[in-house]
Every structure is written in structure tokens, then in C-alpha cells.
Amino acid sequence: MAMREAELTEQLWGDSAGAGVIFVSRVQHLEFSLACRGLVCVSRDRKPNTLVQVAALDVCEQSLLAFSSTEIVQGTRDPLFLTGVAFPPQCPILEETVIKLSVYDVKDKSANNSTFLGSATFSVADLLKSRDQQISLNLRSSDDLEAVGTVVVSRMKMGEIEDGEVDHMATDIQAQKCALVCESLHGTTNDKDYGPLMSALFKNPVCKVYRFQTLDSKWMLVREQMAESTLSFTIPKQLITLHIQEDSRRIQELKDLGELSPHWDNLRREVISRYDQVIRSYQETLEELDKLTGPSFKPSCSKAQKYLEFIPINLHTQRMRVTCPRKTDAFYDIITVGAPAAHFQGFKSGGLQKLLSRYESEKKSYSTAYQCIYYSPEQTAKAREVLGSLSELQPLISSLADRLLQAAQQRSVDALRDTLKSLAEKTEQFVHALKDELVKSALLALHAARPGYISKTQTHTPPPLHLQTEMPQTPSHTGAEPDAAVCINMDEVQTPNKEEQLAAVTLERQDSIPHYKEYDEEEWDRVWASVAKSLNCVIALVDKLQEQDNNNQESTPDQALADVITSHNPSEWREQLSPLVASLKECVTEVGDRAQKSMTFILLQEAVCSIPQGLFLQQRRDVVFSQALSALACGFVMRLYAGLEDKGFLQQLHLVGLVAQFESLLSTYSEEIGMLEDMETGISDLNRVTFRITEAKSDDPAELQPVVSGRRDYYTVEIPLPQQSFQIIPPELQEGKPLQIFPVLFNVGINEQQTIAERFGDISLQERINQRNFEILDGYFKTLSDKVPSECLPCFQTQMDVKELLETLGQNVVTKKRKNVEILWLAGTICRRLNGIRFTSCKSAKDRTSMSVTLEQCALLRDEHQLSKDYFIRALDCMRSRLAQGEAAQWDDPEAGSVANHKPASRHFYPIALLLVSSHLLVVWLILSLVFLLAKYQ
């Protein structure tokens, strides 16, 4: 191939030397198809196996722009090539650009043995100005003495080809005329593929175009477009920044716990030191990522680089667009990505699923050793949730309280009513967030960790620290009073006088939990209930003020109304409300401070019990989640952009949400078990993510980048849309409604290692993953059926109902069958029927992934677009042409052009069928394989 490129470059430079250049307009989206007629082979008695190499030279720059080639058509003098030539927008194709076609007879493609037959040269202007934009060129031999046939070049225009027969080309397969016919459509499809909305997030698109015959002897046009995504790096960098901020806040919260006993103070110092190490590590990673330039993806050869561990491997988008006779264009999207896993950290001890299970069992023993209380994962998650609610609601309540006073100052009844409603809602959320026995129990545990703690029994021995996880029920001092205090039905609130209001909100102020006296377990109930009482007093006074204002307006004649209004002091309402609002803010601050310290103490004990594994596992989980979220954000954005004009899809989006189906091809053998365990946890963690659509400040690409916010337990990804696109979406989406995602993972190993696992290993992990995620998918469909009409879902040619597909999938996930790829096909089909997002993964998103994607695309062409059965294998070969020829082309290997060490694949797993001939050979093979693996991982 390198010799051919050098030869073509030399010929092109020779042809264009001294040529004058006249600048004309740039050509967008140039795509054309090729066919040859009457080829003359060196051996007159044989028919050539024809391949056309395409090279383009910019005469202005005197530089080679692109190389491309067709598939090999065997045994015919009149080959019709199904693979066309595409120049994407980033290639500066001008009308004066020279294109050279070189035709070869490939005698032995495995040995790369070929003979040059002839070549032809034309300019882009020649093609564009020709009749029907089709030209026929004579092929000249290398000595330029004789013609060796002709080559026909026809421009392909997706969705723009005029109705009617524009060309007839003989196919050597069926020896019949096949008309290249496509129905005329309004507008072009190129705009969606290359528009500013797509180009802001998807870079360096690579295109391939094909034409395939349908059952009715017509021709469909197919374009594959693969692109990198800037989200491969922007999402991980935002997540790392959020992790640094969260861990820094955690350190500050630990310092704010106040004075602790020497034992707990030493443990706190150790935990803070470990958090500092994690922060420094993340800061170094962020600094290295900021230095990177070049491609927007991480090649698989960079798996071992630590500063790239947060970046997904080979994250690419792939879109297949199909133009068929008498049908509107259809497109099919899929995201390809390497398995989200901690590849740098390795898998010798397994993946996250196994490590987390082992960690939870070991944490109980660590809690006894460090004299800590053991909290379950649900309880620690609840503690983080409470801390998150406090950080969100406390500033919001304070801001609303200030706005309430401002509305009172202005005597604006409407503003007062609306602000009070918001304040009541947020305060009620605040009160209910802290209505948990976990908070009360944690306050008691924190009190026990203070120096000079005195127990209620007045004994001098320290209290037992192995408190039970079932928190003790403390009787309330007022029975159901806290619940009653939360009720803020304004119709039932009696309006008190001013003295009663002030007395109701007078509280015993204390700076913190007492250190040197007996702990009053009922104190928290009183402090907690004071928030709701204070709110009720504010509501009652506002009602009273509004009632007085209404009475004054009704009893005053119209002509004197203005005089009455001006006679009142404008600040009178504010003066009456200020003490009550200030008291409410003080109560919220005190309750929030106590709850924050108690929840921080829970997390301190969790961090202490997790030494030394806990923070390491958190880092591993951060890495895996970063890769998974990058892929999900990429798929969500692509799906959203494609469905902006689909009202049914937008209705489904805000009523239920979308399903994100991850197809995994990992085996359950060796290190890929650890990858699958990592991937399972990472995909499951995506349940903590919601999306929100916002309006971009401008159409600048920087303003269209998704923004991630939140903490480890809950993230929100904001997707900015340009103003024109934002205005057409439903009001629910414009208001920023959180959009749910339902991630599901289905795995079926397909390589030779999976054969070993199924015969001699354990595939229970794969079976459990498939069964569990089928239940999630089935539950999503039931919810979708209840809330969204079936008309909102896309229509397909195949008549099988989604419910029937789910029943078949349910049967397959419990069926014992080796390499049951039917599971993947059914899950993918259901996902497309439900407007979902499709992902395909293997270890590096290369060989297995490309084989799966091309097979799926050809199956879609057959089932949905009537691809001729005779063309199915040819279409599959065209899409896999580089793989078949053993060349690392840019299309099939997204790492082409990157610094990759192309190591040969391991061949120590010999064909099983050969070894089963003899049991002795099988034993020898097993021994050799084990020796090889032990040597590899030592």
C-alpha cells in the first residue's frame, strides 16, 4: 500500500506540474461512485479482480489530500463497485482539485500481489459540469500507448437524486439492468450531518458511501459517518474538578466537627491526609489533561497511561443514513466505546463488583478494630444525601426569606404570596430531609466522641462504641407534635398576637452539642420542630397582613383609596415580619449545622473503617464512572439532536425518559471478567445521572458544550441548545425538568476465550447481568406503555411487537445456550423500537465491536430497507473491506494515524475442534495455555 501511495503521489505531481490555478468556490460533500467497463487484463484469458485506488491532489497546495479505495470485485471485466468515494467537509476540495483513479488487478489479496492496469485523471469541475454529473474516462496503461477500458464516475447525492432512471449499469452477477433510482426529497440530509450543532461536539468525521440493490432491483444509497467527540475529554475534566471540590469540602467539614477525643482526632487527621493525597493526584491528572492537544479520543494503546485513565477508550459516534426509492431518508446511530473499566489499575484482584463486595465484608472487622460504628452502604448514602440537601436548601431558604422581606417592604401582595409559597415548599423539604432516626443517632454518637463525655448512667467507664445499626427509637416529648408542626395548612392556623408570636419562636440557643454534661436525647426533636413552628408563625402573620389589607380596600371609598395607601408606612409590613423571618433563618442555620456535623461524623467513621481500601475503591469507581458518563452524554446529545423535530420523542423524553442499552462483547475469562465487573458497576452508577436542557447564551461552539454539576451521589448534565432549537421543544423541557435515563447492560462473549469459559469456566456473572437488566428493561417498557401513546414510538417494517420481543428476550436470558447472540440482537432491536440510545463495547472498541456494528447495519438494511439477499454478503464485505484485507485503515480502526504499537494478536488458543480429536492433546493444550497465562500475568 505504501508503494502504491508513493507511485500515485509521483504521478499526480507529474500531471499537475506547471499547471495554472484559477480559484473557484469550494465544493461541499463531494461523493461519487465508480464502475469500469471492458477492462483488458494482461492475461487475455482471465477476468481481473478489480480494485480502484483514488487519490486527490490540491493543485493550489501541491499536496495529497486523501486516499481511498473501492472493494475488490472478482472475476469480471465490467465491475460495478458498491463502495463509493466520499470527501467530508474538512477536506478542502475545490473545483480545480485533480483526482486520479488507478485500477489494479489483485491476483492475491492476502499477499498484496497486484498488477497495475491503467489510470485516468479528471478535475472536480469536469464532474460537476458534465451532463447528469457523470463522466466516462478512458483508462490508459502505464506506457500510455493503449486504452485498457473505461471508468464511469457518477456523483452521488444523498436524498437529492432526481426521480426517474438516471443511469443503467450492467451487473455481472445477474446480467441485468439495474436503475440507480432515488425519489426526490425536499432539502438535503447533509445539513444534519455536518451542521453547526453537530460540529460543535463531533469532530473529524470520516465517511464511506455505498450503493446496494434492493429486492425490486432499485438502488439504495448508504452513508456511514464516524466521528470523534469532544466529550471524551470535556466530561472527565469536569468530573475531576467536581471530585476535587467535593473532597475539599469534605476536609473542611471534618475540620468543622470541632473538638474530638484524642482517639477520634488522630483518626480524623489520618482521613484528612488521605483525602489530600487523592486531591493532589486528581489535580496532577487535570493538569496533564489540560496540556493535551490533537485527536479527541484515547486510543487503546494508551490504556496504560495513568493521566488518561478517566478518558474512555475509542469513543466514537457512528451514523448510517439510508436513501431508498420512494421512501424518506432513515438514519441509525450507535456509539462505540471501549469497556468502561480501570484498565490502568489492572484486574488481578477482580473488578469493582467483586472488590466492593469484599470491601463491605472487611469493613465490619475494621469498624471493630478502630472502635467505629458500622454503617451500611444505604446509611452512608443517606448521609451524603442529607449533606447534599443541606448544601442546596439552606442558601435557598435564606435567599427566599430575604426576598419575602423585600416584597413586604414594597407591599406587593402578589410577590409576597408567591415568595411565601416557595419558602414554605423549600422549608418543608428541609424539615423532611432531616426527619430521620439516622440524624438523631449520629448526634448521640458524635456526643460520645467529644472529650469528657458523661453517659446517662453516670458511670465512669466509656460507653460501648459498637452501637447497633438499628437506631434506637426515642420517644418524642410532644407525641405527634413534629408531624403536626410540619403541616402548614393556612386555613387552620390561628392568627396569634404579637406577643404570642415572639414567644412561640423563642428557643434555647446553644452553640453546639454540650461537651461536658449529660446528652439530652430530646433536644434534637425540639430544635428540629422549631423550624416548622417558625415557618407557621411567618405564614400566619402574612395571612393576617393580607387580610387587613383586603378589609381596608373593601371599606374605603374609591376616591379615598389612594390617600389611605399613601398614609400607611411602606416599611410597616417589613418591621412586623423581620423578627419572625430572622428567627426562622436562625432555626434553619442551627438545625443545619447540627445535622451537617452528625452526617459528617458518619462519613468520618466510614472513611476510618475503609482504611486502606476505601479511598482506592472510590478512585477506581470515579475512573469507571467517568468513562461511562462520557459515553452516555455523547449518546444522549446525539439522540437529542436527531429528535428535536420529533414531537413523539420529545413527549417520551420528558414523561418517562430514555433507555440506554449497552451491548458488551466481553468474555467471562481471565482479565475480561474484571473489566465486565467494572463495567457493570459503572453502568449501574449512571442511574444517579439526570439530564436537563437549557438555552445556550450564543451559537458559539464553546457555549454548546454540556455542563456537569452535582456530587458523587447525584449528577446533572445540562445540554445547551441554540435559541432557535430551544424554542421548538415542549415547555416542560424548556423549564429544565430533570430527564431520566434507564441504563441497561447485556453481555455475550463471542471470542475464543468465551469458548473456554463456557466449556471449563464460569459464566454466572454474564447470566446474572443479563437477567437483572432484562427486568429493568421490562419495567421501563411497562412504565412507557402506561404514560406514552404507542404513536410516539418509531415505526419499523418488521411487524413483531415490542411486547413479543421482550417475551422472547426473557426466554433467552434464562436459556442455557452457548454464545447466545440472540440476546444482543433482541436487546438492540427493542432499544431502537423504544427510541433508545445504542452502545456497543468490547475491550478496546475495535475488532469485535466493528464486526458487531457492521453486521447490525447490514441486518437493518435487509429488514427495514429490502436489501437484496444476493447483496447481503457483498454489503457486509464492503463495510468490512479493510478488515478482510488485513489493513489498518482509518475507518475500521479509529486509532489509525495515532501512535499505536500494532502487536500481533495472541494465537495460543488453538481451535477447539482440532484439539478435541484427542483427549491427550486437549490436556497438553490446557497445560500450555495455563503456563502461558501465568507467565503473562507474573
How far is Cα 94 from Cα 311, in angstroms, rounded to an integer?
37
Beta strands at 714-721 and 739-747: parallel, antiparallel or unpaired: unpaired
Return the higher-pLDDT residue of 189 and 926. Answer: 926
pLDDT of residue 891: 36
923 band by pLDDT with thresholds 50, 70 and 90 = low
Would you say the C-alpha torsion 495, 499, 500, 501 has a positive or negative sign?
Answer: positive
How far is Cα 25 from Cα 127, in angstroms, rounded to an integer?
15
Q: What does R_g of the chain's alpha carbons equal in angstroms?
A: 35
pLDDT of residue 492: 40
Q: Determine whether 812 is exposed, middle or buried from the number of CB atoms within 10 Å of its CB (0-12, 13-18, 19+).
A: buried
Most confident of 25-34, 742-751, 866-875: 742-751
Most confident of 109-113, 231-235, 790-794: 231-235
483 band by pLDDT with thresholds 50, 70 and 90 = very low
Positions of E strands within 696-812: 707-711, 714-721, 739-747
515 band by pLDDT with thresholds 50, 70 and 90 = very low
Q: Determine whether 71 is exposed, middle or buried from the number of CB atoms within 10 Å of its CB (0-12, 13-18, 19+).
A: buried
DSSP assignment letter at 519: -
pLDDT of residue 66: 59
187 band by pLDDT with thresholds 50, 70 and 90 = very low
Average pLDDT, the chain: 78
| Alpha-carbon distances, residue 366 vs 371, 372, 442, 572, 825 (angstroms) | 8, 8, 19, 61, 46
Cβ(54)–Cβ(85) below 8 Å: yes
Percent of the chain's residues with pLDDT above 90: 36
Cell of 296: 479527541
Return the higher-pLDDT residue of 842 and 927. Answer: 842
Question: Which among 837, 785, 416, 457 is positioned nearest to 637, based on CA atoms?
Answer: 837
Beta strands at 147-155 and 134-140: parallel, antiparallel or unpaired: antiparallel
How far is Cα 618 from Cα 359, in angstroms, rounded to an integer?
11
**CA angle centred on 294, ends 292 and 296, rounded to 5°:** 90
Most confident of 412-416, 554-558, 922-926: 412-416
Q: Determine whether 593 is exposed, middle or buried from the number of CB atoms within 10 Å of its CB (0-12, 13-18, 19+).
A: middle
pLDDT of residue 486: 35
How far is CA 666 from its chain centroid?
Answer: 19
| Full DSSP string of 580-593 | HHHHHHHHHHHHHH
Most confident of 166-170, 514-518, 664-668: 664-668
Per DSSP, the chain holds a count of helices (H) and strands (E) of: 29, 20
Burial 321-344 (b: 16+ CB within 10 A, else e): bbbbbebebbebbbbbbbbbbbbb
Residue 30, pLDDT > 90, answer no
Cell of 25: 468556490
Residue 236, pLDDT > 80, answer yes
910 band by pLDDT with thresholds 50, 70 and 90 = very low
Mean pLDDT of the region 188-205: 68
915 band by pLDDT with thresholds 50, 70 and 90 = very low
How far is Cα 627 from Cα 342, in angstroms, rounded to an integer?
9
pLDDT digits (tens, 9 = 90+) for 606-652: 888 776 677 889 999 999 999 999 999 999 999 999 999 999 999 99
Residue 517, pLDDT > 80, answer no
Residue 395, pLDDT > 50, answer yes
| Full DSSP string of 264-276 | HHHHHHHHHHHHH
Quick check: bond before 730 cis, omega within 30? no
pLDDT of residue 747: 96
Positions of E strands within 470-537: none
925 band by pLDDT with thresholds 50, 70 and 90 = low
Give the CA diameter of the chain. Answer: 114
How far is Cα 750 from Cα 768, in angstroms, rounded to an integer?
17
pLDDT digits (tens, 9 = 90+) for 549-591: 777 666 555 544 444 444 455 567 888 888 888 889 899 998 8
Return the higher-pLDDT residue of 495 and 718. Answer: 718
User: Distance between terminal CA atoms of the chain?
Assistant: 39
Residue 104, pLDDT > 60, answer yes
442 band by pLDDT with thresholds 50, 70 and 90 = confident
Return the higher-pLDDT residue of 28 and 13. Answer: 28
Residue 167, pLDDT > 50, answer no
**Backbone phi, then psi, for 171, in 5-degree steps?**
-100, 130
Mean pLDDT of the region 514-532: 69
Cell 441509525 maps to which residue?
332
Positions of E strands within 444-551: none
pLDDT digits (tens, 9 = 90+) for 803-845: 999 999 999 999 988 899 999 999 999 999 999 999 999 999 9
Amino acid found at 725: S
Amino acid found at 368: T
**Backbone phi, then psi, for 664, in 5-degree steps?**
-115, 140
- Least confident window among 20-34, 143-157, 274-288: 20-34
| Full DSSP string of 78-138 | S-B-SB-EEE-TTS--BTT-EEEEEEEEEEETTTTEEEEEEEEEEEHHHHHHSGGGEEEEE
pLDDT digits (tens, 9 = 90+) for 300-347: 888 888 999 999 999 999 999 998 876 778 889 999 999 999 999 999
pLDDT of residue 367: 66
Residue 171, pLDDT > 60, answer no
How far is Cα 239 from Cα 235, in angstroms, rounded to an integer?
6
Which residues belong to the active site?
842
pLDDT of residue 630: 96
**Backbone phi, then psi, for 887, in 5-degree steps?**
-105, 145
Residue 239 CA neighbour count, 13 Å, CB half: 28
Would you say the C-alpha torsion 335, 336, 339, 341 has a positive or negative sign?
Answer: negative
Collapse the DSSP code of 722 into the 3-class scheme (helix H, G, I; strand E, B; otherwise coil) and give the result.
coil
Beta bridge partners of residue 114, listed in sequence order: 106
DSSP assignment letter at 77: S
Q: Determine whether 43 is exposed, middle or buried from the number of CB atoms within 10 Å of its CB (0-12, 13-18, 19+).
A: exposed
